Amino acid sequence: MLKMPAETLSSTQNSSDFSNVTKDYFCTEQPIGPLFWSGFSVVCLILGFPAIVMVLQELCQRHRQNISNDFFVFNLTFIDLSYLSILPFSVFNYMIWHNIQFEWFCNFMYSLTVSGRPLFMACVCGDYYFAVVHPIIYMTNKRSAMIRKIISVIIWLFIIGFGSLAASSSWIYFTVLGCTPLFISLPVIGFCDVIVFRALRKTNHSGKSNVHPQKKRALRTIVNSFVMTFIVYLPPSMVFSLGNNYHLSYETQYCILLFVAVCFTISGCVIMPVLYLESTGQLNIRRIMK
């Protein structure tokens, strides 16, 4: 859980005893936010973990059958799985254990999620852009698999470096620099989504929708990227980068508003796999709701 800047924490440790650090850093006297975050994390863990496992099974099956290339989706799923795996330990540490060193590790894993998700989602949208708008190049390019791997390695190097910097100097998240991954990915997501959406919504001369079943899945993915952007990516970025400008009290900003923002990020561990399963036909949301 990202909290007050590392410099503030360090000075607090040097000037007072550990009980004061625990009180300030872990909001022991303002438990509303942590309690809400803890309960929400448990719900997301229960719902998200089996959904992610189903997504991994679907990805492996589609890879064996050579149906489609979901390499970037695999990276997204791996990030969600990694974060969900340490989430119960993060909750236990924040609520009971109060180990600051382990908390920095949890902050690092959270930073990977915040920075990696939008970047890999931009790659997913770009992949569908070439598949729909430039299908010949997409199908005949023999180096496409290598290009995806190179892009993934570059992104992982970036998010590991960004996550290390954010975990050691968490003040970055409370400035505009914290939105850097979103600033990079949002134009790509917006451009690709608009172009692909327009291409897939074209009608033939008979007036019927000329959308191939495989392209319908691309259309669902484009819609899903909009959902993820406005529900999962934007809220925490806005809170982190603009929170200090509202001149809120410490308790309100760090012990309430921050936890609400983090919950938006955690919800992506459920929303993303569910939307993917629905787009592949493995999960019929309408049938379940009925």
In a domain, 282, yes or no: yes
- The pLDDT, as a whole number, for residue 288 is 46
272 lies in a domain? Answer: yes
pTM value?
A: 0.82
Tell me, yes or no, whether 270 lies in a domain.
Answer: yes
The total domain count for the chain is: 1
Q: What pLDDT score was predicted for residue 285? A: 53
Does some domain include residue 262? yes
The first and second tokens of residue 227, run together, are 């959902």
**Once rounded to an integer, what is the mean pLDDT over residues 30-59?**
91
At 17 the pLDDT is 47
Mean pLDDT, residues 92-121 taken together: 88
* 121 part of a folded domain: yes
Is 1 domain-assigned? no
Is residue 100 in some structural domain?
Answer: yes
Angle, nearest 10°, between helix axes 71-92 and 100-133? 160
Per-residue pLDDT reduced to its tens digit, 152-209 = 999 999 999 988 887 777 677 667 777 788 888 989 998 988 888 888 776 444 445 5
Please give the structure tokens belonging to residue 235: 């809220």
1 contact partners, CB below 8 Å, separation of at least 6:
34, 37, 90, 94, 103, 106, 107, 110, 258, 259, 262
pLDDT recorded at residue 44:
93
Mean pLDDT, residues 251-275 taken together: 85
CA distance 75 to 123: 10
Query: Which CATH number do you get for residue 33?
Result: 1.20.1070.10
- Domain housing 147: 6-289
Looking at residue 250, its pLDDT comes to 66
Burial string for 170-190 (b: 16+ CB within 10 Å, else e) reads bebbbeebbbbbbeebbebbe
What backbone phi and psi angles, to 5 degrees, belong to 166? -70, -35
Whether the predicted pLDDT of 123 surpasses 70: yes
Amino acid identity for residue 56 in this structure: L
pLDDT above 70 (res 67):
no
Q: How far apart are CA 24 and CA 266, in angstroms?
A: 23
Q: Report yes or no on 214 lying in a domain.
A: yes
